[in-house]
Structure formats: structure tokens, C-alpha cells
Structure 1
Amino acid sequence: MFDHPVDHVPGLALLEAADQAARALLSPASLAPTAIEATYWRYVEFDQPCRIEAESLAEPGSVRVTGVQEGEPAFRVDFRTGG
């Protein structure tokens, strides 16, 4: 999947995890964001589980996904529909 070895989970893989979690939360409705905002606070390491949590936002069809590792937020992705 990646062209070089890494010692942590790449951000692109975390974005894919967030996309899958958002789609699962909204199912059977589809995910159709008009904007995506990703924030990464720390590396997600391979040797510990990373819990992916998805929640609906106030805007219909908008979702926030947070990755939590060792009890601390590691990243957040907001999928927004613009209303």
C-alpha cells in the first residue's frame, strides 16, 4: 500500500479508516461530504489498538471521526455536508 517502510500508521490509512467509520455510521444513507478537515495530534503506533469513534454532527449527513490510542485522541476527521 505504501512505497516505503514506516514505524507508524500513515495518515492516509487513518483517513481511510475515518471514511469507513463515517459510512458505517450513516448507513444505509450515503456519505457525500463537501468538505473534509483532518487534524493529527500524534502518531498512531502499530503496537497498540486505535479505537475509531464516529458521531453525527449538527449538520445533516456530517460526521466527526476520532481515533483514540492509549486513552488519548490521536486524530480527528470532520466530514461536512455544508448543511
Structure 2
Amino acid sequence: REDFPLARNTVPGESGRLELEIDGIGLKFRFKPSDTSYARDLMENIRSGVINQCSFAFSLDYNDQEPDEWRINEDEDIYERRINN
């Protein structure tokens, strides 16, 4: 939930810092959650397999020309989004 953040890329310390990296596939992220009850609960649910997917929020500058592209991957029957800028 967006009202329970686990990390941000603006945090300078270890705990709660979000690291972003672009590779040949897309955007990777890594974080060390802060020592909060909801972060500990989340980590336990990840370890036990209750939670096996994730997402994070971001915003695009739609003043840029074509900041993103959408396409259908028919092999996997999913939509894919490419962020250009």
C-alpha cells in the first residue's frame, strides 16, 4: 500500500534506502526495509511465499515527447510498458 512505504531513493542511510539500476532487461531495484512492524511482517510473508510479487510507484514527465510505450506480448499474453525517459 502506498501509505506504508518500505524505502525511498531519497533516503541517505542504509535502512529504508531504495537503489535503482538500469540493466539490459529493464529497471532493477534493491532496498533494505526499515525496522518497522509492517516491514517485518512483509519480509516474513515473502520468506514464507505468501507474497511473491511486488511493484513500486513512480511518475513520468508527460511534457516529454513519448515518455512511454505500451505493447502486447502475445507469447506471454501480457501488456508490456517501456519507459523511454
TM-score range, shorter chain: under 0.3
Indicate the structure with greater strand content: 1
- Relative CO higher for 1 or 2, CA cutoff 8 Å, sep ≥ 6? 1
Q: Which has the larger radius of gyration?
A: 2
